[in-house]
């Protein structure tokens, strides 16, 4: 049986939000509301920190685009 959102850790919730291209900042309750479609309607996507251990292709993409500053920002 799948876990409910309440049973997930904040990190797991943020991973799900990231997969859906939604902002990953906020409290656990805010993250759950966002996943349920209850928050941030019409809000522009927010910048978010990216764990490059999980998504190293983003750093490569930033460097390939000639934007090392973006790669550094993504890294930390």
Domain that holds residue 53: 49-76
User: What's the total number of domains in the chain?
Assistant: 2
Instruction: Look at residue 20 and tell me whether its pLDDT is greater than 70.
Output: yes
Instruction: Give the HSE-up count for residue 71: Cα atoms under 13 Å, Cβ half-sphere.
Output: 13
Same domain flag for 55 and 37: no
Rounded distance between C-alpha atoms, residue 58 and residue 50, angstroms: 9
For the chain, percent of residues with pLDDT exceeding 70: 47
The domain that contains 24 carries what CATH number? 1.10.720.30
Same domain flag for 22 and 39: yes
For the chain, percent of residues with pLDDT exceeding 90: 34
Same domain flag for 25 and 59: no
Same domain flag for 28 and 13: yes
Note the pLDDT tens digit of each residue in 21-45. Answer: 999 999 999 999 999 887 655 455 5
**pTM for the predicted model, two decimal places:** 0.50
Same domain flag for 1 and 27: yes
Average pLDDT over residues 45-65: 61
Cβ-proximal residues to 46 (8 Å cutoff; 6+ apart), any chain: 23, 24, 25
């Amino acid at each position: 049986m799948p876990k409910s959102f309440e049973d997930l850790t904040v990190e797991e919730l943020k991973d799900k939000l990231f997969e859906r291209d939604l902002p990953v900042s906020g409290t656990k309750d805010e993250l759950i509301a966002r996943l349920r479609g209850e928050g941030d309607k019409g809000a522009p996507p927010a910048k978010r920190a990216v764990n490059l251990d999980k998504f190293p292709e983003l750093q490569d993409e930033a460097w390939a685009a000639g934007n090392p500053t973006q790669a550094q920002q993504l890294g930390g």
